[in-house]
Structure 1
């Protein structure tokens, strides 16, 4: 009975977090917030936001964030599309299993979710860890992806990937296991401040305070930090998988958006090694957190690209 009570309390906590986040973003708008839903696929329960109707767009978040990051974009895309923004395995309201954090496997989660919703052809957008999942999705299911967007990070195993900008901070890729988990327990905000501040062009114009509180509480859920560390622990296998994927170049249109003060042209160069139809744009003055640092530049570019037939 006690186990059931804990599960109920955890589910209520997740629902409260989602509702609170949506309410804060949509309070000043007449647009209704996206629906918060769950689906069990591929052996894992995934939480996702859904809004709109029409051709499907899948939005995949990055590390230190979850589906909440897409709230400013969802209303614009939902005018003409069905928008699905999942919490990846290990993040937000989704399950946090012990394994399955290779990006190839995480893409299979998302594909199973798409199929369960009766969708087939999709456009896929990914930021940070989400762009790795987006690429793995397109590489595994190329006939089901109409177009793809990669937003600021890198592709493990593609080209000269070990010299990417983000790897100047290599310590956190190896920061997992019992001791790191003990060090960050109750100090999650301190840990995430490093990413939100140092990966931004201006730490005072990065992730908003309300969002920092929301993400901290979300990752502080049982298993949240351990799962987040697993994203990085899987990079060596991701590099092997992506090097194999890259042997067959993609053909669908790809938009690459990067921060001038972050990935610069590196991700664009990588993208051209894996896709024959790449449009690369460096967002001037922005760091890694494109949606937050350069909303006015990024949202119109995404909408214009994703609205193309």
Structure 2
């Protein structure tokens, strides 16, 4: 091969080598910056405390204490889907539909929060977990408190999110009770009035309990929740949550005689419960961290997702 051809061959080889190096570097960089695979959220059912409970589950860390997320009224376990992947990276996350809601059974009785907590405890035990970190919003916070009060040695930490604890302190003056009518709205006539109009009924909660109705529960979620509660027995079960408040108040007044010792975080909307729930938390627990979610009404996960989920991940996502 003459000199010019040898020089051309060397030049081409150098260019090919450079291109291969750049390609390899590019592939490596893309691999380093690629987003992690999406977290799989499984939809499952299990028998617990004599009923069938539907629950969502993500993560599979057998060494870390699992987190249990409990939804409130006018929602289901679906509300926790944005949060679950953030917690599932370090621990198992379990989000049940409470008795009477979503895909869970809707029996005639058992809607006092003490019994509903026993449902969740049976589910957790059946899944092979002894200890939990538990989070509850609205009705779910009442169930979370009843769980911690009944099984204090099995709860590493607890989060209460915007609502109130019946029977604790001056609870009848809580912000949410300004609409006292709906807590007494149960029985045959109310059921007939809301049949086929579930969405209209729930709009009151989603809009009037929000700081801004336009930045409250999203439209797609409203359709999902209205359909879920529109199932046979769904609205009646939801009304039973409120009907049970009288019994809850008696139970909680008794529970409050023994203060919880595990760490408690209280998150309350600036435009909703505010300081009230934090003060209640300090009446029932000794180790309480309270935070006001700025600019938010009652629907913390939807109205202030970054602030709310950041606080939850920081608190229940701690190592251990």
The TM-score normalised by the length of structure 2 is 0.87
Counterpart mapping for 1:256-271 below 5 A:
256-271=266-281
How far off its partner does 1:33 sit? 3.4
Identify unmatched segments of 5+ residues in structure 2.
1-34
* Structure 2 CA distance for aligned equivalents of residues 35 and 298 of structure 1: 23
How far off its partner does 1:307 sit? 2.0
* Structure 1 CA distance for aligned equivalents of residues 37 and 219 of structure 2: 23
Q: For residue 46 of structure 1, what is the aligned residue in structure 2?
A: 53
Q: For residue 6 of structure 1, what is the aligned residue in structure 2?
A: none
Counterpart mapping for 1:160-179 below 5 A:
160-179=170-189
Q: Could you list the runs of 4 or more consecutive aligned residues of structure 1 that deviate by over 3 angstroms after TM superposition?
A: none
Determine helix, strand or coil for the equivalent of 2:277: helix
How far off its partner does 1:32 sit? 3.7
Q: For residue 247 of structure 1, what is the aligned residue in structure 2?
A: 257
Counterpart mapping for 1:56-205 below 5 A:
56-205=66-215
* Structure 2 CA distance for aligned equivalents of residues 129 and 137 of structure 1: 13
* Structure 1 CA distance for aligned equivalents of residues 49 and 310 of structure 2: 34
* Structure 2 CA distance for aligned equivalents of residues 76 and 251 of structure 1: 27
Q: For residue 216 of structure 1, what is the aligned residue in structure 2?
A: 226
Q: For residue 206 of structure 1, what is the aligned residue in structure 2?
A: 216
Larger radius of gyration, structure 1 or 2?
A: 2
* Structure 2 CA distance for aligned equivalents of residues 266 and 182 of structure 1: 35
* Structure 2 CA distance for aligned equivalents of residues 200 and 34 of structure 1: 28
Determine helix, strand or coil for the equivalent of 1:45: strand
Identify unmatched segments of 5+ residues in structure 1.
1-27
Determine helix, strand or coil for the equivalent of 1:292: helix
How far off its partner does 1:29 sit? 9.2
* Structure 2 CA distance for aligned equivalents of residues 270 and 250 of structure 1: 12
* Structure 1 CA distance for aligned equivalents of residues 59 and 122 of structure 2: 20
How far off its partner does 1:41 sit? 1.2
Check conservation: 2:39, 2:58, Cα contact below 8 A: no
Q: For residue 4 of structure 2, what is the aligned residue in structure 1?
A: none
- How big is each residue's C-alpha offset from its partner over 1:83-102, in whole Å with a ceiling of 9 and x where there is no partner? 00000000000000000000
* Structure 2 CA distance for aligned equivalents of residues 262 and 98 of structure 1: 32
Which moves more between the two structures, 103-112 or 50-59? 50-59
* Structure 1 CA distance for aligned equivalents of residues 252 and 39 of structure 2: 39
The TM-score normalised by the length of structure 1 is 0.90
* Structure 2 CA distance for aligned equivalents of residues 154 and 241 of structure 1: 14
* Structure 2 CA distance for aligned equivalents of residues 203 and 162 of structure 1: 25
* Structure 1 CA distance for aligned equivalents of residues 292 and 178 of structure 2: 20
How far off its partner does 1:255 sit? 0.3
Determine helix, strand or coil for the equivalent of 2:46: strand
* Structure 1 CA distance for aligned equivalents of residues 73 and 154 of structure 2: 26
Determine helix, strand or coil for the equivalent of 1:125: strand
Check conservation: 2:47, 2:53, Cα contact below 8 A: yes
Q: For residue 12 of structure 1, what is the aligned residue in structure 2?
A: none
* Structure 1 CA distance for aligned equivalents of residues 311 and 119 of structure 2: 28
Aligned length: 282
Q: For residue 21 of structure 1, what is the aligned residue in structure 2?
A: none
Q: For residue 37 of structure 1, what is the aligned residue in structure 2?
A: 44
How far off its partner does 1:53 sit? 2.1
Q: For residue 30 of structure 2, what is the aligned residue in structure 1?
A: none
